Amino acid sequence: MGDRDQTKRSESYSLKYSNDKSLVDGSSAVQITGNQNGYQASTTLVDIYNVRYIKIQSTASTDFCLRIELCGEAQMPAPVDELQITPSDTSARVTWVIHEKTVSSLITKYYIYLNGQSQPHVVSRAEDGTQIVIPGLKPYTVYTVGIETVDGALQRSRRVSKTFNTDQAAPSGPPSHVRFTYWGKNRLDVSWNAPDTKFWNGVLTRYLLCYANQTRARRPRCRFIRSGTRLQGTIYNLQPTTKYFVTVSAGTKVGYGNKSLEISKITSG
């Protein structure tokens, strides 16, 4: 380092560097050997990463001419690692790990894709770290989450994806077409159709057949009916010439959903 007449040279210089221009002055200085021997090159090896801005000053605080050659390797953001998903019935907690700076450019944000959507959800590394919660999911549904890391130059890593199932929930709709197929002196036979599949929220395993001798009873009697090909149940030991009100609700392993519309029938005398 020096000018043509070798009058503007220094024994050493300080180098500061940063990925963010505003942080250059606040970064730690690295000492660089100056050229005090004519036009012989002075070489200083520095082991630094994620550099976009460099500032060089003479340690003697003098003017100087500079001819400098910088050699390095362009870095790309490394993909996330150890992608983990913990689902509930309507949300999923997503966590991941990022690589050390020696094998990646400086990651500033993440692009999160749900089921391959074209527009990603942008997550800030500074604000959210390495985890997010995805709300508003449908129970018992298959989803795929993909993550791309992004650096300050908007370079993207390859996308890392993982598929998961949300948990089951109670059905969100009632059985339909509930009807009486037989009525006698002490007995009522009831049949029904399963809820629309979009309301199942899981695997239907049972039904709850409830009845009372008054409408909208707070504590009706109920029978558990296992789910099968024939959706029907029989209520026994009823009083003759008595009006009974009946509802049916579907259930998964989590619980029961909404009751069907109430139907009624008077037993025979």
Q: What gap in Å lies between CA 268 and CA 222, rounded to an integer?
A: 21
- pTM listed for this prediction: 0.73
Question: Which percentage of the chain shows pLDDT scores above 70?
Answer: 82
Question: Which percentage of the chain shows pLDDT scores above 90?
Answer: 63
Q: Give the chain's count of helices (H) and strands (E).
A: 1, 17
Range(s) of the chain covered by CATH 2.60.40.10? 81-165, 179-267
Query: Could you tell me which residue, 68 or 181, shows the higher pLDDT?
Result: 181
Q: Would you place residue 53 in the very low, low, confident or very high pLDDT band (cuts 50, 70, 90)? A: confident
1-15, 149-163, 210-224, 240-254: segment of lowest average pLDDT: 1-15
Nearest to 74 by CA among 51, 55, 54, 44: 51
Given strand 243-251, what is the order of strands in its sheet?
A: 221-226, 206-212, 243-251, 263-266
pLDDT above 80: residue 12 = no
Predicted confidence at residue 14, as pLDDT, reads 78
User: Tens of pLDDT along 166-217?
Assistant: 999 999 999 999 999 999 999 999 999 999 999 999 999 999 999 999 999 9
pLDDT mean over 111-124: 94
Q: What gap in Å lies between CA 53 and CA 74, rounded to an integer?
A: 14
User: Tens of pLDDT along 17-37?
Assistant: 776 666 667 667 777 777 666
Q: What gap in Å lies between CA 215 and CA 63, rounded to an integer?
A: 96
CATH no. for 179-267: 2.60.40.10
The DSSP secondary-structure symbol of 78 reads: P
HSE-up (13 A, CA, CB side) for residue 66: 16
CATH no. for 81-165: 2.60.40.10
Q: What gap in Å lies between CA 24 and CA 204, rounded to an integer?
A: 62
The DSSP string of 101-158 is GGGS--EEEEEEEETT-SSPEEEEHHHHTTEEEE--PPTT-EEEEEEEEEETT--B--
Give φ, ψ of 14 to 5 degrees: -110, 140
pLDDT mean over 64-82: 78
